[in-house]
Amino acid sequence: MGMSTRSGSRGGAKEMYEVFDVTTWEVSRFVVSGSKEKEWRICPDTKRFGLLKFPVSVLADDWEEGQGYTGEAWSEKIASEIGKMIDVPTHDVEIAYYKQTHSSLCWRFLDPDVENLEEGADLINPFDPTYDRNSLIGQKVKYNLELLYQVFESNEILPHLFDMIVFDALIGNTDRHQDNFGIITTNETKRFAPLYDNASCLGRELKLDGIHEKMSNPHSFENYIKRCTSLIRLGNSKKRTKHFQLLEAVLDSYKESARQSFQKVESLDNNKIDKILHAVPTQVMHEDTKSFVNKVLTTRRDIILGMR
């Protein structure tokens, strides 16, 4: 089914995340939006559906094998594990190998026979049917904190809004739009879906030379941390909002409601971060990149905890 990678000595072995070679897995007939970058595959042993998502750089017209590629395979996996560590539901993710490239493999979290996913845009629609997914704006509303508060409150899932915002600030997620969160419904139940599509984070876009520059230049590293932005804007601003500015706005307006979400970050100690990063095989993630991501996570965590 996959290539299992482990390291360590007898009696003290530390398991690595498995890398699944999906070359021979059946491609599902189910159509995926943006099919150039992802496709459903079926695990031959478990019959479980996994969404294979290729690194962004591989999709470039001028990309050639051997050039290297961006780190969505490890960023999606690490983000998923971080969420679980701090009790923020995230989808289950593995690392896949296909055509000499490591990609992310995101297991399907819906039972399509009885469950339906209503994404954020579907939840926004009752507030403004003219809302446009691409421009993040409608005739009445804009994709901002105030709108999301109304959407989450009306669906009785408000705590999950603050979990999502704090989680994204922790990992530096720059792409939390209305199509990567939602609710799962059946004829009788409704629940918040695990956060998915979390790969745009943790410096996954940086090449090694960029990582080395930031690790050797404290000012450059600090700027990288503080300038990271969210898609969730404040008020009528046309500019993207920096993550920590968004957290300040949350604390200013909704401190009591958001308190528990901030407290969740306390559980992410250094040992847990080390364990997650160590488990990523070195052929997937360079050791220098692991050191950088470790510093990113501990720095962002400490800033968030200091804001409460």
Domain definitions of the chain by residue range:
6-307
CATH number of 6-307: 1.10.1070.20
Sequence-distant (6+) residues with CB within 8 A of 60 are none
Residue 10 carries which side chain, given as an amino acid letter? R
Residue with tokens 């994404």: 119
Nearest-CA neighbor of 189 among 115, 110, 108? 115
Question: Distances from the Cα of 40 to the Cαs of 50, 102, 150, 177, in angstroms?
Answer: 6, 16, 34, 22
Per-residue pLDDT, averaged over 244-256, amounts to 97
Per-residue pLDDT, averaged over 73-81, amounts to 98
Residue with tokens 């930031």: 214
Given a contact cutoff of 8 angstroms between Cβ atoms, the answer to whether 302 and 292 are in contact is: no
Element (H, E) at 295: helix 287-307
Output the pTM of the full model: 0.92
Residue with tokens 């479980």: 48
Rg (CA), the chain: 20
pLDDT at 69: 75
Three-class SS state of 66: coil
- Residue 181 has which token pair? 């969160």
The Cα–Cα gap between 15 and 273 comes to 15
21-59 per-position pLDDT tens digit: 999 999 998 777 654 588 999 999 999 999 999 997 665
- Residue 232 has which token pair? 């969730």
Residue 1 scores a pLDDT above 50:
no
> What are phi and psi for residue 165, nearest 5 degrees?
-65, -45
Residue 11 scores a pLDDT above 50:
no
Element (H, E) at 241: strand 241-242
CB atoms within 10 A of CB 123: 20
> What are phi and psi for residue 190, nearest 5 degrees?
-145, 130
Residue 65 carries which side chain, given as an amino acid letter? E
105-157 per-position pLDDT tens digit: 999 999 989 999 999 999 999 999 999 998 999 999 999 999 999 999 999 99
pLDDT at 286: 96
> What are phi and psi for residue 57, nearest 5 degrees?
-65, -30
Given a contact cutoff of 8 angstroms between Cβ atoms, the answer to whether 82 and 93 are in contact is: no
DSSP string, 122-161: HHHTTT-TT-BTTTTB-SS-BSBHHHHHHHHHHTT-HHHH
